Amino acid sequence: MNQPATKPRISVQDYLAGEKDGEMRHEYIGGEVYAMTGASDRHALIVGAFYAALRPAARQKGCQLFVNDMKVHIRQAGEDNVYYPDPLLACDPAAYYREKPSLIVEVLSEGTERIDRREKLFAYTGVASLLEYVLVAQDRRQLDIYRRTGRDWAHERVQGGTFRIESLELEVPVEAVYEDIAPESPAA
């Protein structure tokens, strides 16, 4: 009887070594490596605006705010996962990746929304140091904020006004995140 072909698993150490010199970025999920796709202009503008809104407060707190190219390494239930969040705030110095982020932001796209809302939500909320996980919509002015409340997590949906980043003790106007994105024109 024929056996289905299996994908060879790669160690997290080999994955990290390959990412140092690689021209493409990949995420690592339990021994398997997945190439990342490029981002839209809206995605890049939202990430840049989010970074600009948070950077002064991050520097004041002595934390580091990264955009797109810093990895977060998560070990849960004996499995290693390595993701490239959009903005990532960490106050633990390290050289090549972070294991103790306090804030992770993912800008949603049609191709990643399901993964960001399920797989990454599960993985990220298992990180003891993480205080907030923020999902930012591209197609409407909406943020979903998951905030640690003791041992549990609370969800808040924000569509206008301001939102709070507890890890930086900062109020941010929703419009600051979308300042470079033209409002959607009403349907005709």
Domains (range + CATH), the chain: 39-177 (3.90.1570.10)
Q: Dump pLDDT digits (tens) for 12-32.
A: 888 888 888 777 888 898 888
pLDDT range class, residue 7, cuts 50, 70, 90: low
Which of these, 153, 167, 181, lies nearest to 60 by C-alpha position? Answer: 167
Q: In degrees, to the nearest 5, what angle opens at C-alpha 62 toward C-alphas 144 and 135?
A: 10
Lowest mean pLDDT among 20-34, 108-122, 129-143, 147-161: 20-34
Stated pTM of the model: 0.88
Averaged pLDDT score across all residues of the chain: 89
pLDDT range class, residue 185, cuts 50, 70, 90: very low
For 95, phi and psi rounded to 5 degrees? -90, -50
Q: What is the pLDDT of residue 125?
A: 94
Longest dimension (CA), the chain: 63
Say how many residues make up the chain: 188
Q: What is the pLDDT of residue 123?
A: 94
Q: What is the pLDDT of residue 168?
A: 96
Average pLDDT, integer, range 64-70: 90
For 144, phi and psi rounded to 5 degrees? -110, 120
Ramachandran assignment for 169, one of left (phi > 0), alpha (psi -120 to 50 degrees), beta (any other): left
Q: Dump pLDDT digits (tens) for 111-124.
A: 889 999 999 999 99
- Output the CA–CA distances (angstroms, integers) from residue 47 to 10, 99, 128, 138, 149, in the order listed: 30, 21, 24, 10, 26
CA atoms of 14 and 11, how far apart (whole Å): 5
